[in-house]
Every structure is written in C-alpha cells, then in structure tokens.
Amino acid sequence: LDIIMGLLQPTSGEIFCDGSNQSELNREDWLSIFSHVPQSIFLADTSVWKNIGGLGSNVAVDKSRVLNVAELAHVRDDIENFTHGFDTIVGERGVRLSGGQMQRIGIARALYEKSSILVLDEATSAIDPFIEEKIESSLSAINEDITIIKVAHRISTLKSCNIIYKVDGGEIVQSGNYETFFGS
C-alpha cells in the first residue's frame, strides 16, 4: 500500500494510473488523491469535530460535512450520545473511545477529505460485524464517486468488492470476485 500511495518508491517495476507513470507525476498531486484508514487510527487530544474535519489545519471545519461523513461511517449516533457530543475531547490517542469508535472516526475523517481513492487497511477490524455491514453498505452507495482499496483478513469485508487480488510473497497469485474465491 505504501508503494501504491507513493510513500515508498518501488525497487523494481512501475506504477501506472490512467496511463500515466506515477514516478513522472507531481508527488504532492499523487499523494492528494489518497485517503488512508490504517488499522491503528491516530487521534489528537482535541474535539471530535477537529479529529474528523480539521486535524492539523487552521481551516474552519465544515460541520454539516462532518455530520454527513459521521453518518456514513455509522459513528454519528455514538458521538451524539457523548456528554458533549461532537465537542467531546477524545483524549490522547483517543483514550476515551472504544477501538470501534476510533476506527469509525478514522473512516469519517478519510471520507471528509473527498479523495478519489480510499485505502482501507484493516480499517474495520475492531468493528463488530453488524456495524461493519452498515459501513460497507454506505461505502457501496458512494462507490461510484471513489475507488476503494481494501486490505482485509476478515472475508466478509470483501463481499462488496468488484475484484479481489490474493497476494502471497509480494506477488498476485489469484484474482476474481467474491464468488470466484468463496462461492455465493
């Protein structure tokens, strides 16, 4: 994923996107097309508003957009039930939140960024399967606007994927859809 996102340069081969070699593109332009949700989410000791819509920036938070992406990530109800709602300070590294809440806030943050490629690296591993299914449904609804790249060990996470690649030893060893791999 680090190579695809341009964080590391490949030691061999090339990466092409829409016919353009990634190495010939402006690095900042390339990086800007990605939103990344890792398994371990970084949260700052600030409000939920800032952790979703303004982390590390002095730009005003678009609160209506934060509410929308929190809904898509199925974390809005949880946040609204906090004593201070979206004004809640999450604590250093999100210590006041559950693992699932942290991951859903990370997904909301990535959706807030409006990138054209969303990279989910075990991004729902701490979320219960019922909520994960709701998130998958939300992501499927916006799937026409963005490309989603998922890394997952939980097979159910891959049901909505158009194409699945099995990687072993750094090589693609099989590709197909969910039915190809797991039947219906």
Residues 10-36 have pLDDT tens digits of 888 888 777 877 776 677 788 888 999
pLDDT in tens, 116-139: 899 999 888 888 888 888 888 888
Question: Are the C-beta atoms of 108 and 66 separated by less than 8 Å?
Answer: yes
| DSSP string of 26-58, one letter each residue | -HHHHHHTEEEE-SS----SSBHHHHHHTTT--
Query: Is the per-residue pLDDT at 151 higher than 70?
Result: yes
Question: Are the C-beta atoms of 60 and 50 separated by less than 8 Å?
Answer: no
Query: What average pLDDT does the segment 46-55 reach?
Result: 90
Query: Is the per-residue pLDDT at 144 higher than 90?
Result: no
Q: How many helices (H) and strands (E) does the chain have?
A: 7, 7
Please give the helix or strand (H or E) that residue 147 lies within, else none: strand 147-151
Query: What average pLDDT does the segment 62-72 reach?
Result: 95
Place of tokens 């990279």: 119
What is the pLDDT, as a whole number, of residue 137? 83
Query: What average pLDDT does the segment 131-153 reach?
Result: 83
What is the pLDDT, as a whole number, of residue 130? 86
pLDDT in tens, 85-119: 999 999 888 889 998 899 999 999 999 988 889 99
Query: Is the per-residue pLDDT at 5 higher than 90?
Result: no
Q: Could you tell me which residues come within 8 angstroms of residue 51 by beta carbon, excluding any fewer than 6 positions away?
A: 43, 44, 90, 94, 105, 109
User: What is the reported pTM?
Assistant: 0.87
What share of residues in the chain are helix, strand, coil (percent, to 5)?
A: 40, 15, 45
